[in-house]
Structures are given as structure tokens and as C-alpha cells.
A and B are shown apart, each in its own frame.
Chain A
Amino acid sequence: DVKVTQSSRYLVKRTGEKVFLECVQDMDHENMFWYRQDPGLGLRLIYFSYDVKMKEKGDIPEGYSVSREKKERFSLILESASTNQTSMYLCAIQNYNEQFFGPGTRLTVL
């Protein structure tokens, strides 16, 4: 079974803090994704990566950056957290066209 882990299930940060969300997969998949999910807006793609050191912007990259230094790890960075970044963050890997998700990180920015 594919296993995708995320560093925290719940996180509370203050406005202006730098926030790191980590995602690790154990199956050597090339494609990894970061989404956020909000009520009424569904899943929105922030960034994705299809190889080490490669990244592409998704639909809502503003206020975020990513890092993929190793194949198994894809990090999402909030350079200066804001209250409108309070959300559920979901990491996914892709196997052919199917995506498999980590358990999610529920981030609250105060």
C-alpha cells in the first residue's frame, strides 16, 4: 500500500510566522502535490513537483513556496503566515493518474 505521511495533523501558528509543512512518501513516486481544502471551495492545487528540484505552480501559489530536495520529501512553506491561510492542507502522490493522499494538516493561523 502507498503510504504518505504529513508531519503534523494539527498546527497553530501566529500571523507572520514562517511555517513548514512536510510530506513524505515511501514508494519512490515522482509526482507529488500540495492542495488546500476549504468549505465551499473544494480542493485547490497550490504546487506540484514531478521530480527532485522540479516544481510547478498550481492554481493558487501566491503566499506559498515549495522544496523538493529528495524524491521522497515535498515541503510546503508559508513564508509569512496570514489568517487567510487557515485551512486543511493535503499532500498527495500520483501513481499513473490516481492520487493518494496523506492524512492532512489542519493549520490555524491566529
Chain B
Amino acid sequence: RKEVEQDPGPFNVPEGATVAFNCTYSNSASQSFFWYRQDCRKEPKLLMSVYSSGNEDGRFTAQLNRASQYISLLIRDSKLSDSATYLCVVNGAGNNRKLIWGLGTSLAVNP
């Protein structure tokens, strides 16, 4: 089993739609969780950290479910500019300096 797994997609949605991505992780000792966004041929950029209580930033909501070992990202009212690859990231066990990266979920928002 991969340490961090994501559905690669692609997810094709119309503008204004709500879309959700899930990501599962294998190490129950992981403590830090993130969503990154990566545009085509660019570097990954931090979208948001994921906290135990869940957190929201505008149209984006992240949730953590420790019992089932997954994190989720919900995007409401999708914009064309949301088209990107979304990377799920989890810290490695016993060493907070290393992060474990998912392969990403591709999102295309269509007019």
C-alpha cells in the first residue's frame, strides 16, 4: 500500500460546481497534513494546512479523519483558475522534516 494515495482523476467539472478530493495515508503516527496546488510546469504551492478540527479558507475546506486515515479537500463554486493538480502531503513518521507526497489529483474546471 502506498503511503499516500490519491485518485489521479482527471476531474472535469463545470464552473460553479462543488468538487471534493480524498486522500488516504498509511501511517497512523503522521501529525501534519497539507494540500498543495501545482499548475502545469510550475512548482507546488501550499494551498492549506489541514487541522484536526477542519479548516476553511474562502471556497476551500479541508477535513481530517484520523480514525479512517484520510484527508479531504472541498472546493465550492469552482472557478476556471482552480484548474490544477492538487497534491496531498503528509509528514513521515518519526521525522517531521520529511514529507510524503501523493501523486496528485488533476482538476479541470470548464466554462
Contacts and interface: CB of A to CB of B under 8 A. Distances in A.
Interface of A: 31, 40-43, 45, 48, 50, 58, 90, 94, 97-104, 106
Contacts of A103: 42-43
B19 interface: no
B99 interface: yes
A101 B36 CA distance: 11
Most buried by B among A48, A94, A97, A101: A97
B1 interface: no
Contacts of B45: 101
Chain B contact patch, size range: 20 to 34
Contact of A104 (B32, B42, B49, B87): B42
A40 B41 CA distance: 14
B43 to A, nearest CB: 4
B34 A98 contact: yes
Interface string B83-105: 00001010100001111011110
A45 B45 CA distance: 17
B46 interface: yes
Contacts of A45: 98
B3 to A, nearest CB: 11
B102 A42 contact: yes
A76 B89 CA distance: 23
B46 A98 contact: yes
A40 B89 CA distance: 16
Given A97-B99, A104-B42, 8 more contacts: A48-B97, A94-B97, A97-B96, A98-B34, A98-B46, A101-B44, A104-B43, A106-B41
